[in-house]
Amino acid sequence: AMPRNTNVHGDIYAGWLMEQMDLAAATAASQISKGRSATVAIERVEFLSPVSIGDQVSCYTELMDTGRSSMKIRVEVFGTDTRGSQTRKITEAVFIYVAIDEMGGIRALPNSD
């Protein structure tokens, strides 16, 4: 986490953290869908601990469920302080993606038929 992503108190903006979570989920969705996908919803997000300048932020994804074209991906975020001595859970959320074709329309996931 870098200074440009913080408020005046040195805490990381929630929006920056959500962007990192969306990138992690998008990477997973792309691998699962074998192509383009788009975020359609984000379920409840609760921030449990602040992230400070210099903290290492790690996002972990887990596929929870799939539909014909949709993917439900849980993202957990952990932060490690600058000394590397303490790791804590920052937040988690469920991101819902749909597979899309080259025209931007919804398409079926591979092997979903």
| 113 residues of the chain, pLDDT tens digit each | 678 888 888 899 999 999 999 999 999 999 999 999 999 999 989 999 999 888 999 999 999 999 999 999 999 999 999 888 899 999 999 999 999 999 999 999 998 65
What domains appear along the chain, each with residue ranges and CATH number?
A: 3-99 (3.10.129.10)
**Cα(57)–Cα(63) distance, rounded to whole angstroms?**
20
**Dihedral, 81, 78, 40, 112 alpha carbons, nearest 10:** 140
φ, ψ dihedrals at 99, nearest 5°: -75, 135
Q: Record the pTM.
A: 0.90
Q: What is the CA radius of gyration of the chain?
A: 16
> For residue 19, what is the enclosing H or E element?
helix 14-33
- 96 in Cβ contact with 44 (< 8 Å): no
